[in-house]
Amino acid sequence: MEKRSRYQQNIIRNYYENRESIALQRVQELITELYLAEGKSRARHWKSLVGHLEKLGVKPARLQQLVTSDKPELAAKLVEELLAQQKKSSP
């Protein structure tokens, strides 16, 4: 197996350092899509949203509550909370 170049190592390191920010951005995009989606597409977006929120450490009970309510507004409020937490934890 070949060794990674210094450039490749930096890309990988930066990805893992910013993984939480990347996930939050994707969650925001999915919430926008949820507002516009209907039917099977809406269910698919909810499933994807739950997957990203799990990676961010949101508790399963809260995720279940979001999905059963089927209200993107509640998911948007959750993202606001996560963004506030991220700002507090970042230097």
% of the chain exceeding 90 in pLDDT: 77
Query: What is the domain partition of the chain in residue ranges?
Result: 6-89
Helices (H) and strands (E) counted in the chain, each on its own, are 5, 0
Per-residue pLDDT tens over the stretch 76-86:
999 999 888 88
pTM above 0.85, yes or no: no
Phi-psi region of 70 (alpha: psi -120 to 50; beta: other; left: phi over 0): left
What amino acid occupies position 64? Answer: Q
Instruction: Give the separation between CA 48 and CA 2, rounded to whole angstroms.
Output: 34
* DSSP SS3 for 58: coil
Residue 66 near residue 75 (C-beta atoms within 8 A): yes
* DSSP SS3 for 90: coil
